[in-house]
Amino acid sequence: MATQTFDLAVLGGGPGGYVAAIRASQLGLKVAVIEQENIGGVCVNWGCIPTKALLHNAEVIENVKEGNIYGFSFDNLKLDYSVAQKRSREVSNRMMKGGEFLMKKNKIQVIYGTGQLTSPTTLNVQTKTGEETVEAKYIIVATGAKPRTLPFLPVDGKRVFTYRQLLEYTQTPKSMIVVGSGAIGMEFATVFHAYGTQVTVLEVLPRILPNEDEDISTEMARAFSKKGIKTMAGVKVDGATIGDDGVTINISANGQAQSLKADIVLQSVGIAPLTEGIGLDKAGVAVNERGFIPVDDTLKTNVANVYAIGDLTGKLALAHVASAQGIIAAEAIGAQMGKFSGHLNKLNYDAIPRCTYSHPEVASMGLTEAQAKDKGFSVKVSKFPFQANGKAVSLNDYTGFIKVIADAKFGEILGVHLIGPRVTELLPEYVLAKNQEMTAEQIMHSVHAHPTLTEVLGEVAEGIEGLPIHI
């Protein structure tokens, strides 16, 4: 059994792992990435990237359906979802190959296979051709997470799906039930509705998008209802029957039992960390009661030379969080090896953007209004609607608003919540402001170009200061 030696071995080549590997290589470390499938992980291959391709297709279709507004019409519009699905796979493959190129460019050795820690400094890798031993002074665990599923809804890729199977699906069902109203559920609901599917979204918690500000949830429920997407919150899923002609879901809501039937069901009820079976016990790495790996600010585990990044840390399960954590871990390791003498960044999770790419889009950062009040803050709240923004009206896409929560005493920005056109692209100004401890007053005095969607960022800041102009 061959043995290879490195400064750093990264277990998992997703958006956390490959970014950590690149940063470590830039610092002069000899690096290996152990990946069982494709560079880019779930994000590039089965998550962020292919879903965005599908969502763009859906956006184009929605615009075409409104052709009379723009002065064109179709006698017989035909939609072929299989073409959209094929394009999504092509986009993913292109991005995956880009990741492979970056590995070569940065002289990172990629070992394709299933890795398992055998000690704090060694891994066993089962490849297609046999076994290899990897020795490393430092190890970063970046194996990610998998979808949670309900025990009475076994995934078969025919009637019952997780996002992974649904991204391989090439048909347009007549009807679809989405169990779970987080980002994944809402995005797939948007896509399939655009292609004519009757979609019903179920949520066990009292409102859809339960992690967002309550005003966002209310606005999204209204927007989906206007489109014809049904949402049901406060619903308990009690059981299911899978048949040749569809799936029947038994639910209870407000003490009333009922049944819903659809051609297919998507489960999007959360994730579970991929920490079992990777040898953490052999390396002495601790996990908590939920299976996640506790880490410090530098992403170090309880074992001095083993770090963990991404979804399995139990922090925000987002690709950009994994990447940011990967850079911090690589620099911390570089500092330990005398290869990095710069400032070691510490992530402020209250200044991390959270995005849902449905239509309308949702973007948020920091505390909701309820959370801010629960923490004892005296708050100022400002909202500015997109219907008062000239660019949004020009685009015929003006559902939604921006909402900012600020500390009434010191002016600190506590939370920012947007729903509307392209809001995932608008939020970063407030992320920067939060990280730089800026106030709404400073944003208000920054001139925003007219006419642009970004004007809402300044307009809502004016509202925090009690000086709104256009509402």
pLDDT tens for the 471 residues of the chain, in order: 689 999 999 999 999 999 999 999 999 999 999 999 999 999 999 999 999 999 999 999 999 999 999 999 888 889 999 999 999 999 999 999 999 999 999 999 999 999 999 999 999 999 988 999 999 999 999 999 999 999 999 999 999 999 999 999 999 999 999 999 999 999 999 999 999 999 999 999 999 999 999 999 999 999 999 999 999 999 999 999 999 999 999 999 888 999 999 999 999 999 999 999 999 999 999 999 999 999 999 999 999 999 999 999 999 999 999 999 999 999 999 999 999 999 999 999 999 999 999 999 999 999 999 999 999 999 999 999 999 999 999 999 999 999 999 999 999 999 999 999 999 999 999 999 999 999 999 999 999 999 999 999 999 999 999 999 999
Same domain, residue pair 33 and 136: yes
Is residue 346 domain-resident?
Answer: no
Alpha-carbon distance of 400 to 219, in angstroms, equals 7
My answer on whether 452 and 440 are in the same domain is yes
Whether the Cβ atoms of residue 307 and residue 333 lie closer than 8 Å to each other: yes
Q: For position 213, which CATH number holds? A: 3.50.50.60
d(CA 126, CA 34): 10
**What is the reported pLDDT for 1?**
64
Enter the tokens of residue 283.
Answer: 């390396």
Per-residue pLDDT, 134: 97
Distance CA 467, CA 50 (A): 43
Residue 450 annotated as catalytic: yes
Q: Which ranges of 71-111 would DSSP assign to H, the alpha helix? A: 81-105
Q: Where are the alpha helices (DSSP H) in 139-277?
A: 163-166, 183-194, 214-227
Q: Is the pTM of this model over 0.85?
A: yes
Report how far residue 327's alpha carbon sits from residue 389's, in angstroms, rounded to the nearest whole number.
Answer: 38
Candidates 466, 442, 471; CA nearest to 456 is 471
| Burial call 312-340: b when 16+ CB within 10 Å, e when fewer | bbbbbbbbbbbbbbbbbbbbbbbeeeebb
> Are residue 9 and residue 135 in the same domain, yes or no?
yes
Decide which of 336, 371, 391 is a domain's last residue. 336
* 285, 304: one domain: yes
User: Which residues constitute the domain of residue 390?
Assistant: 360-464
Q: Which of 417, 448, 450, 470 is catalytic?
A: 450
Which structure tokens are listed for 7? 């400064």
Please report the pLDDT score of residue 2 as a whole number: 85
Same domain, 65 and 141: yes
The pLDDT score that the predictor gives to residue 428 is 97
How much is the pLDDT for 74?
Answer: 84
Indicate if 79 and 36 belong to the same structural domain: yes
Are 367 and 457 members of one domain?
Answer: yes
In this structure, the answer to whether residues 450 and 383 fall within a common structural domain is yes
Residue where a domain stops, chosen among 223, 243, 269: 269
- Which value, to the nearest 10 degrees, does the dihedral of the CA atoms of residues 448, 452, 454, 456 take? 90
What DSSP designation does 256 have?
Answer: E
56 and 130 fall within a common domain: yes
Residues 6+ apart with CB under 8 A from 198: 174, 175, 176, 228, 262
Number of domains in the chain: 3
Residue that finishes a domain, picked among 269, 297, 328: 269
Provide the pLDDT for residue 73.
87
